[in-house]
């Protein structure tokens, strides 16, 4: 994702500055092979709800699943909202954490992993110094977004 972000910034150098003043809520519609709605929002982590055409119950999807659905050319024109847009937006805009298996208990594997990362970051073990920046990035990503970098790729670059 970071590589993709850098590619976009190289092609559109003013984009990052323009995003600083971006509104909190943006609604956009684009052409796609099927009629679906995705709602991205943050409640202590990143949640993405997807509502497919004809369904009344949204599903929680990962960022990796959502990216190909929202990617488009820089100059691709937006479309007018469909007749069902606002109805679907209301349905999709409310996260149901208890159904998502993403509510975290103190005993969850994810919480334990974050706690272990905190310990490693605070430790004064010299052997960890070359990896400290990666550990901080990993902890931040897990704690704030509920995602993780591609560990295999990151490990290969260490």
Domain regions of the chain by residue span: 26-100, 109-157
**3 state DSSP class of 42:** strand
DSSP 136-148: HHHHHIIIIIS--
Whether 142 contacts 117, CB under 8 Å = yes
The crossing angle, in degrees rounded to 10, of helices 109-122 and 132-140 is: 150
Q: pLDDT for 44-75, tens place per residue?
A: 677 888 999 888 889 888 888 888 898 888 88
Mean pLDDT confidence for 69-95:
87
| pLDDT above 50 for 86 | yes
């Amino acid at each position: 994702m970071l590589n993709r972000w850098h590619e976009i910034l190289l092609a559109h150098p003013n984009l990052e500055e323009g995003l600083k003043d971006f509104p909190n809520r943006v609604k956009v519609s684009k052409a796609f092979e099927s009629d679906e709605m995705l709602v991205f929002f943050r409640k202590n982590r990143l949640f993405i709800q997807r509502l497919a055409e004809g369904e009344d119950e949204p599903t929680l999807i990962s960022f990796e699943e959502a990216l190909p659905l929202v990617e488009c050319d820089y100059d691709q024109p937006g479309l007018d909202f469909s007749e069902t847009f606002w109805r679907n937006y209301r349905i999709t805009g409310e996260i149901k954490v208890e159904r998502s298996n993403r509510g975290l208990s103190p005993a969850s594997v994810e919480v334990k992993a974050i706690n272990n990362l905190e310990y490693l970051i605070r430790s004064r073990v010299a052997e960890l110094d070359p990896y400290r920046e990666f550990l901080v990035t990993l902890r931040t990503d897990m704690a704030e977004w509920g995602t993780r970098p591609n560990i295999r790729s990151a490990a290969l670059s260490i």
